Amino acid sequence: MAQTIRKVEIVVAPGQKKERIDKYLAAQLEGSSRARVQRYIEEQRVLVNGKAVRSSYGVMPRDAIIVNIPTSAPVTIAVPEDIPLDIVFEDEHLIVVNKPAGMVTHPGHGNWTGTLANALLFHCNRLSSLNDSFFRPGIVHRLDKDTSGLIVAAKEDTTHASLARQFADRTIDREYWALVWGRFAAKSGVIEAEIGRSKTDRKKFAVVEDGKFAATEYEVLKEFKFLTLVRLHLQTGRTHQIRVHLSHIGHPVFGDPTYHGRRINYGEATPRFKQQVSALLKVMERQALHAKTLGFVHPATKEHLHFESELPEDFSAVLRMVETL
């Protein structure tokens, strides 16, 4: 089978601590081990700011990394699928979509079809090839499968590169709303805790000593009997950051099955209380987390675009229910 090249581009986040590039890329590239990354480096398939490096190179904030991954033509390449999209904005350069909960952003292990990338390939005449043209065409950033809300995709490489730089520089305006367990001691604050792979479950993330710096701003919007609605801004963009940080400080996102949001975390577990929580969880079958606001400078027009999305029905329904408790 003929060999092809997957070109993956990564811009290192501003808050990244100095770390060996082989270790860093092993965590960034899905399905790649550290030994495999070292082989890519030896074959000069890894470029940092346009130059080949050694495995011992320490990645620095804002480094531009290109990895040219050799592969046989994959049978699991993302293919166009006729999946409805809730389009908020679209022009010849980019598209902003309101992603529903339950939709994976791009194909990967266990989710090769039915993703946002598959839907975008069907809808758009073209998508950018940066990042990973096989599995992530047009995908600039991602939302967790069961997180709803706004996401932008690029139709060509120049737009993709500009948006990626804005994300790396943290000039993108992103606001999340979450319904979480308990009440906060302070009405606003910043959660700062390093995040890395969980030591007990490699599929999960956790606050760990050797993790990557992460900071999440929060502001209390409304308090209920045992839940709180909060507004969140990311200072960094780690995987599962909001969910991990909130769980770490004792306020898991309500309904989150991975980070303790589906067990009683506040109040007395009386029969009546358990019944109330059970009724809410039947409505909110995923984490109550929504990417509500997205703003950025349009790479071509230089206009600042700002978008807002309404809370989805399951989220809104739970809010109506807790108002009555």
Catalytic one of 22, 63, 144, 256: 144
Please state, in angstroms and as integers, the Cα–Cα distance from residue 34 to each residue in 90, 95, 209, following that order.
39, 35, 21
- 8 A C-beta contact, residue 79 and residue 1: no
Position 325, amino acid: L
- 8 A C-beta contact, residue 230 and residue 287: no
- 8 A C-beta contact, residue 151 and residue 168: no
- 8 A C-beta contact, residue 64 and residue 9: yes
Active site residue 144: yes
- 8 A C-beta contact, residue 266 and residue 226: yes
- 8 A C-beta contact, residue 267 and residue 224: no
Residues annotated as catalytic are 144
